[in-house]
């Protein structure tokens, strides 16, 4: 593995999810290389300032040339095709038994295949919550969840829907400015405003949304932190 210090990370894929994950990892100061077999798709990543490399991801020698088994600490398999992700995970695990491999799936069936193939962590919206958050895999918060589960304490995360009571410190706050990461170590996914129906308004929505009493904020984190937020919001702490 890489020398003590910064981790070496390879992000396989150049679609929207891969680019967003790479961007947020870069903001955290991680050393990463973005790879794909499609040179045309890599152009966008190169223009965004990423180190990129065109690689045949089905060729073991080319995977080894990336540093798998020697220098790479974490591999994100974020290709657009589920079958390609499964194949890459199988190959990478065979070449690098100790590397952490993170992938993402939109179907429960593929989650099982990726786990059987050797993925260390599969981000599965069906497993994270019963809440209907299919679009979550296309939002920036997924990178933070990956960061915490793979690079952090590797504990189970829970999702909670917490109503905003009268007198809460959240009443009147704007969703795009709301951050609970430093005070509670929680990630704000969005809010459900009953005046607009039961759909989730994502925190990354470009349209500003003011949080009011009886809105429901949707947050992700450890159970203890979620309970602490609930108590402080109701004044029962």
Who's near 94: CB < 8 A, 6+ residues apart? 118
Kindly give the interhelix angle for 108-117 and 82-95, rounded to the nearest 10 degrees.
20
**Residue 154 CB neighbour total at 10 angstroms:** 11
The structural domains of the chain, with segments of one domain joined by +, span 8-148, 158-234
pTM over 0.85: no
CB within 8 Å of 208: residues ≥ 6 apart: 174, 175, 176
Indicate the CATH number of 8-148 among 2.40.50.100, 3.40.50.720, 3.30.420.40, 3.10.129.10. Answer: 3.40.50.720
Kind plus residue range of the DSSP H or E element containing 208: none
For helices 16-27 and 39-47, angle between their N-to-C axes, nearest 10 degrees: 30
Per residue of the chain (237 residues), give pLDDT as tens: 444 456 789 999 998 778 877 877 887 788 899 999 988 889 988 998 999 999 999 999 999 999 999 999 989 998 988 899 999 999 999 999 999 898 888 677 888 899 899 998 887 644 444 333 334 444 444 545 555 554 454 456 677 788 889 888 888 888 877 777 778 877 777 788 867 666 667 666 656 788 888 888 888 777 888 888 888 887 654
Distance from C-alpha of 169 to C-alpha of 189, rounded to nearest angstrom = 18
Q: What is the CATH number of domain 158-234?
A: 3.30.70.1450
């Amino acid at each position: 593995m890489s020398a003590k210090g910064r981790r070496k990370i390879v992000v396989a894929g150049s679609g929207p999810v891969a680019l967003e994950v790479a961007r947020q990892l870069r903001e955290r100061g991680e050393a990463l290389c973005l790879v794909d077999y499609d040179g045309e798709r890599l152009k966008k990543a190169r223009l965004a300032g990423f180190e990129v490399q065109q690689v045949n991801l089905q060729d073991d020698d080319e995977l080894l040339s990336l540093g798998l088994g020697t220098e790479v600490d974490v591999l994100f398999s974020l290709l657009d095709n589920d079958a390609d992700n499964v194949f890459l995970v199988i190959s990478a695990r065979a070449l690098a038994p100790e590397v952490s491999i993170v992938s993402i799936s939109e179907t429960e069936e593929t989650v099982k295949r990726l786990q059987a193939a050797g993925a260390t962590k599969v981000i599965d919206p069906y497993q994270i919550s019963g809440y209907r958050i299919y679009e979550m895999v296309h939002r920036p918060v997924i990178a933070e969840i990956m960061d915490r589960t793979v690079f952090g304490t590797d504990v189970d995360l829970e999702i909670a829907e917490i109503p905003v009571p009268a007198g809460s410190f959240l009443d009147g706050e704007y969703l795009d400015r709301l951050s609970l990461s430093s005070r509670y170590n929680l990630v704000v996914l969005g809010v459900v405003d009953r005046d607009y129906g039961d759909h989730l308004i994502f925190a990354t929505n470009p349209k500003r949304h003011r949080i009011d009493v009886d809105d429901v904020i949707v947050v992700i984190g450890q159970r203890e932190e979620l309970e602490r937020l609930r108590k402080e919001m109701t004044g029962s702490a």
